[in-house]
Structure 1
């Protein structure tokens, strides 16, 4: 399926942290967006060590997204020992490389994570970067920092609950918001079911949520659904449908979807 060629180089074995892990030859010869697909598929199947090594090997146009994903592994302790300092390092590098998601995550951490001393200036800086890049949640949080009378949105409450390790309440609120048609809640809940953090891992449930949000026009969910269909993890493989959803996401300016479509040609 995903065999679009790129200049190959002869690296077949990575040795990290005392482990000997061989990645497929076709991973190294693939385009960066395809490498992300492959790593994403491994992540979905809870093969976190392989996903980590793949993300660490990705360079070029997909580097920022790979770094953000590495941050998630260390932030949540998926396949590695939970390490906030390492997560912050990856998030920071990803944000500087252009990851809006990483900038938003950094803003949240500096603003609300009980593991860290609150640093409003750092929070403002990273949230501003995300907001300038079009992140509406980051813009809302910035407004809240300057307008103490403004109420937190449902999604902001969810993120606060997750950062405070109130997982059950956060998932309950997300489920309620999703049932009310909130596409951001559907997307966030899908990621939670996909990763198995806070709930039991359920790829079918994740796929249902991504599909519902995608049909309602959420670009992030359209991209995630496209990746599921392209990799055949969580849904039956369907390259035509995958391209359909990637095109829908790209039409809304989703950077990774645009890059993936360019590299498929």
Structure 2
């Protein structure tokens, strides 16, 4: 299950340790220590957080581990999850996936959503336990049913691709929608794609545009590119080259090679923007440098015709050669022609 590696990173690394829920950063260390030593589980958990983050005391993983363990043994689910995470990462202790699994399980069985994600990831990747996709899905589902948007999205991916479950586009749509409605940009993008392609739902370009837009407005580059394409082609919206330029530009500025190529094309042809060969060359070059063969071909043509650059048939041949290697037959023809002419 390829995507589970990504999910593991999301669950164990990006989420970080649970923040203290009973004390804030201004909590007095001495008072917390006193309560922890008296056996108050909440204080033990908070003290672990203080040592882990270096809040009010010097940073010390070993001490964090000690206090998390004491709280975990009193069934504080957040402490159990954090203890599992420390065993997973080898922070303050030798790395031990089996021990990580044990603590994740204890927290997960108490309904702790992040621990359920972590436990699912351990099963999905076979860490500390025999790899078991079905068991991974079972724990992901528990977290997703609690409203965890990351897991809802990942369940959507699993149903979309048939990873660990029978492929089911309608079920993928259901989980994508749950995460999308919580504002999760990747899910919004994928839900837009399902409407765009008519997978699990009736094809609906307007609905695709709606979800692409929500993701695009959060800066999600693939959605920006797709929204630009919808405006360019007039799918789900009135055709509007200026809007296509706007969204292609946002994606292009984030390094999306296809958006850079399309933006160059719009400047080249003066669609949605004043025709500007130099600007076209700029965007073709950025896409070409990323290996986009169509951009390499067009850049070869710009050098051949001297549009936006000084005419240079040697450079033209070089770019046509790269595009030819990328499978553009027209570029192969131009490369052979220039080669025959001695360039």
More relative contact order in 1 or in 2 (CA 8 Å, sep 6+)? 1
TM-score by length of 1: 0.46
TM-score normalised per structure 2: 0.36
Which of the pair has more CA radius of gyration?
2
